[in-house]
Structure 1
Amino acid sequence: MARAAGFVEHVENPATGRESRPIDREHLARQCLGDVSLEVEVLRLFDETIARYMGRLVASADADEKKMNLHVIKGAAAGVGAWGVADVAREAEASLREGRPVGTEQVADLAIAVEEVRGYIAGFVAEADQG
C-alpha cells in the first residue's frame, strides 16, 4: 500500500490540539486502515455528500430541515476528519436545538469551511491519481 506524498505538511493547532489542515489525514488513514485508495474513494464520496447537503441546507426553509442537514454535514465531516466543518455545523445545530435561528453568517462560515475542504480534497485526489 503506497502512501500519497504529503499534500500539506502536518500542522497542529495549539488552541485545539487538532490538525489545522482541512482534513486530518491521520484520522482518515486510521478510518481507512491505511489504504490510500480507500481514502481517495471516501473523500470523493464525502465531497459529493457535503456539496449535496450544503445545497439542501441553503435551500431549507424550516428549522427541522436545517437541523437534519446540519446533522448530516457534522457526522460526515467528523467521519473523515474535517474538524473545522464538523465544528461549525455542530455550533449551528446547537443553536437550532436551543431555539436560536441559524443566521446567514453561520451558513456563510460553514460554506467557507466546506469550500476549503473541497479544495483540499480536489488537490489530494489529483495527487493520488498521479502517483
Structure 2
Amino acid sequence: MAQSASAVEHLGSTPAKRPMRPIDLVHLARQCLGDEGLEQEILRLFDTTIATYLLRLQQSATPDEVKLNIHSIKGAAAGVGAFGIADIARAAEAELAEGRSIPAEQLADLAMAVEEVRSFIARVLTSELA
C-alpha cells in the first residue's frame, strides 16, 4: 500500500503534458458563442484564408507586402485560436519592426504550422460530418 501511495504522489507531482492542438477549440467555441455550425464555417473560411495569405506572403515583392501579409496571418490566426501560427507571425513582425528581414527558417516554420493547422481543420470537419 505504501508503494502505491508513493507512486501516486510521484505521478501527482509531475505535471501531465497534454498535446497542444493546432487550434484552441475552446477559444473558437467562445468566439462563436457555442454555435457549432458557425465554428465549422469559421474553420472552413480560416482554412482558405490562411492558405491564401501564406501564398501571398511567399510571393511578396515589397517590404510593405510582407508586413501586410504577416500582419493578416497573425490577426486571422489569433482570432480563430491558431496561437502557434499567431506566435510565429508575431515574432516575424518583430523582426520587421527592427529593420531585419524574416529569416528563411522562420518562414519555413510558419509554412509547417499552417500545414499542421490545415490538416487539423480537415480532420475536425470530417469528424463533424460523420
The separation in 1 between residues aligned to 2:123 and 2:99, in whole angstroms, is 39
Deviates more, 1:100-109 or 1:42-51: 100-109
May I ask how many residue pairs the two structures share in their alignment? 113
Match of 2:49?
49
Per-residue CA deviations over 1:40-74 (Å, capped at 9, x if unaligned) read 00000000000000000000022211110000000
1:127 Cα deviation from its structure 2 partner: 0.8
**Deviation by residue 1:79-129 (Cα, 9 ceiling, x = unmatched):** 010000000001001101110111211110100010000000000011111
Structure 2 residue runs without a partner (length 5+):
1-14
Query: Match of 1:69?
Result: 69
1:13-39: per-residue Cα shift (whole Å, max 9, x none)? x8xxxx821000110000011111110
- Any idea what SS the aligned residue of 1:76 has? helix
- Match of 1:90? 90
Partner Cα separation in structure 2 for residue 64 and residue 107 of structure 1: 16
Is the partner of 1:127 in helix, strand or coil? Answer: helix
SS in 2 for 1:52: helix
Over aligned residues, Cα RMSD in angstroms?
1.2
Match of 2:7 in 1: none
Please report the TM-score for the alignment, with normalisation by the length of structure 1: 0.83
Q: Which amino acid aligns with 1:41?
A: E
Q: Write out aligned runs for 1:1-131 (5 A).
A: 20-130=20-130
The structure 1 segments of at least 4 consecutive aligned residues displaced by more than 4 Å after TM superposition are none
TM-score by structure 2 length?
Answer: 0.84
Computing the radius of gyration from Cα coordinates, the structure with the larger value is 2
Q: Report the AA paired with residue 30 of structure 1.
A: R
Please tell me the residue identity of whatever aligns with 1:82: A
Larger helix share, 1 or 2? 2
1:62 and 1:36 map into 2 onto residues whose CA distance is 40
